[in-house]
A and B are shown apart, each in its own frame.
Chain A
Amino acid sequence: MMAIIGAFISLVGALFFLLSGIGLIRMPDAFNRMQAGTKATTLGSILFLIGIGLQKPDYLGRTIILVIFIVLTNPVSSNALARAAHGYRKHIGAKMVPDALAEANALAEANALAETNALAAADKMTVDVRVQDVAGKEAAHVD
């Protein structure tokens, strides 16, 4: 009885795998494909592996470890992929109207630029002061 329930749970997980494959083929750009290829495979692997564990209770501990590992790591790799895709957003051709990461990056860049300018201005001032000092000493020496 448990084996049949586990087999049907595995079948539902495999259907999520199939949906993820169809989404990877049919979605229009890389961000939408990421949506299909990451979330659906996470749910599908949870169901598939738990189904295998229900069919064979010897494997249940290892499959639960594997499920926990996939649930922890798949969002991390998805986040890294999304950050990488954001750098190529002009080539991808995706419409990104509220683009919070680009705004944050622009703000950080402007802050860094202002800081460098302030540092450069401070450097220039000290250099000017030194030049004046040297000039004054040389003038004194000539006298």
Chain B
Amino acid sequence: MADAVFTLASIVAVLGLLLASLRFALGPGAIDRIVALDAMTIIATSLIVAFALFAGRRIYVDVGLVYGLVGFVGVVALARYLEGGL
């Protein structure tokens, strides 16, 4: 029961990730793409932790933590570059 519900939750999260990546591909301007990239980073961090639960290995939680950190730095660097402060 719990496994089935959690699998459904992961599938729904992947659907959200796919919609965000559609905006990443379509987005008319650079700023739309970076907004989509921000959302994709957060969803992917959560999905990496979900994969840790599926695979039963604890190390993937740390992988998700590091991925969230790197994604945050990347988004802030891109935003500062577009603003002209970098």
Contact = CB atoms under 8 A, between A and B. Distances in A.
B16 A70 contact: no
In the complex, which of the residues A25, A34, A42, A84 has the most CB atoms of chain B within 10 Å of its own CB atom?
A84
B5 A8 contact: yes
In the complex, which of the residues A48, A73, A78 has the most CB atoms of chain B within 10 Å of its own CB atom?
A48
In the complex, which of the residues B3, B20, B65, B75 has the most CB atoms of chain A within 10 Å of its own CB atom?
B20
A77 B12 contact: no
Contacts of A65: 65
Contacts of B45: 45, 66, 70
A21 B39 contact: yes
Interface residues of B, number: 49
A14 B68 contact: no
In the complex, which of the residues A3, A24, A48 has the most CB atoms of chain B within 10 Å of its own CB atom?
A24
Interface string A1-40: 0011011101101110111111011000010011001100
Which secondary structure characterizes the binding site on chain B?
helix
A24 B36 contact: yes
A10 B10 CA distance: 8
Given A8-B5, A11-B12, A80-B75, A41 B19 contact: no
Interface of B: 1-3, 5-6, 8-10, 12-13, 15-20, 22-23, 29, 31-32, 34-36, 38-39, 42-43, 45-46, 49-50, 52-53, 58, 61-62, 64-65, 68-69, 72, 75-76, 79-80, 82-84
13 contacts: A14-B13, A18-B19, A19-B16, A20-B16, A21-B16, A30-B32, A33-B36, A45-B45, A66-B61, A73-B68, A74-B38, A83-B79, A92-B29
Interface of A: 3-4, 6-8, 10-11, 13-15, 17-22, 24-25, 30, 33-34, 37-38, 41-42, 44-45, 48-49, 51-52, 55-56, 58-59, 62-63, 65-66, 69-70, 73-74, 76-78, 80-81, 83-85, 87-88, 91-92
